[in-house]
Copies of this chain bind each other. A is one copy, B any other.
Amino acid sequence: MERIYSSELGEYVGSRVRVAGWIHRVRRLSRVSFLILRDARGLAQIVLDESAVAGTIGGLHAESVVAVEGLVVANSQAPMGVEIRDPEVEVISAATAAPPIDLFRPILNSQLPTLLDHAALTLRHPRRRASWQIAAASLSGFRSALGAMGFVEIHTPKIVGTATEGGANVFTVDYFGRPAYLAQSPQFYKQIMVGVFERVFEAGPVFRAEPHDTTRHLNEYVSLDAEMGFIRDHTTVMDLLTFTIRGMIEAVRNQCGEALGLLDVAIPAVPRTIPAIHFADALAMVGDALDEDLSGEPDLSPAHERWLGEWAAREHGSEFLFVVGYPMVKRPFYTHPDPTRPRYSNSFDLLFRGLELVTGGQRLHRYDDYVEALAARGQEPGALDGYLEAFRYGMPPHGGFAIGLERWVAQVAGVANVREVTLFPRDLQRLAP
């Protein structure tokens, strides 16, 4: 008999069916017992008689894999409105021990490090599974939105000869006896590819050897990158980002109804135009509000971003806020200055619920500007020859953005720590599983 999924049971009332999955729980009540079976799509309730409980099922640990054939009966008391009666149970693969964590509890009550140590088990929990479903839907929405705008998917190397974003926060690889690095971003490559396809995107891993341990940072994460040519300035990129975020939310809405319900979260709304505030104005406003002298500060702290998030919600009814015009000194060498205020840049961050989610902006596109920008920072252009060649031979005004997937999912799911929504996080302490 062909196996069906638990989510399809409602269509088979009155028929015998075969389901298969993991023993989520066996509930022994005084008169009746239930086997709750978990498969990829949900849960199924199976009514057990005494002999089944005493026999096959009684000897099995939770998480054992079984197939069950039985009759589908409507029962308004059952979780899905249906249950399976008169079951024949076949053991496919018995768990060798009782799981150290009870997956049947609605909310896992172990500490985060324990949950992560046992990821192979705990990711099976419906709520942990639900947060990755949001990630998967977001990826599909990201690609659909950009695909509809003519963007071409690229895959660029993660082992590189030169650190992309500069600085010390780079992992070193032994590359056949030579030092190489793990790419901190696909920045150089996506810019090069603007010269080829004008519009490109990549969803892939990036690596940051930042030695700090916060709830917002991972040392390896998934970056959703886009880059486009023939822009007016950073505002073209902001429009593209708004469109893309809208597509990601649409995909989450369409593909993750059940996951959102399980996590009890509301889907964010994207205003027609996301409000934008200049960095200098944001700084002045935060300084006034918190009675701090922030004039001349080159950056916003996480606390300042939270304040701005609340301000945007209050004043603009928006969970999203663009902060534009970050000071050039805080941005990488390829950043395009604001032509009217050259100390500030044509770049932006997008805050989502008070957290920096996206960085983007316009890049330099003239070869001479690169040579000058590198010289001003005391960097030799030599190591970047293969990258600078793109600008030597003609590049249009262009820009792009990078969305941190895990931060996005954490904010959508309303969790405090990105590790809670990352399949197998990498941080200062954690290299396994």
Contact = CB atoms under 8 A, between A and B. Distances in A.
Interface of A: 3, 20, 22-23, 39-40, 61, 63-65, 92-97, 99, 117-121, 123-124, 129, 132-133, 135-136, 139-140, 143, 147, 150, 152-162, 171-176, 178, 180, 182, 188-189, 192-193, 195-199, 203-205, 207, 209, 211, 219-220, 222, 230, 365-368, 385-387, 389-390, 392-397, 405, 423-424, 426, 428, 431-433
Nearest to A129: B196
Contact of A140 (B153, B394, B396): B153
B396 A92 contact: yes
A119 B366 CA distance: 18
Contact of A160 (B93, B172, B197, B431): B431
Centre residue among A61, A96, A140 by max chain B CB count within 10 A:
A96
A192 B39 contact: no
Contacts of A154: 132, 136, 423
Q: Of residues A40, A135, A366, which shows the largest number of chain B Cβ atoms within 10 Å of its Cβ?
A: A40
A270 B7 CA distance: 33
A423 B189 CA distance: 9
Contact of A20 (B3, B196, B230): B230
Nearest to A201: B136
A119 B192 contact: yes
B387 A120 contact: yes
Contacts of A176: 209, 211, 428
A96 B428 contact: no
Contacts of A426: 157, 159
Contacts of A180: 431
Copies in the complex: 2
Contacts of A147: 140
B428 A120 contact: no
Contacts of A173: 171-174, 182
Nearest to A174: B172
A151 to B, nearest CB: 10
Contacts of A207: 158-159
A217 to B, nearest CB: 13
A198 B155 contact: no
Contact of A171 (B136, B175, B390): B175
A389 B189 contact: no
A392 B92 CA distance: 13
A367 B40 contact: no
Given A97-B392, A386-B432, A195 B162 contact: no
A147 B141 CA distance: 13
B129 A197 contact: yes
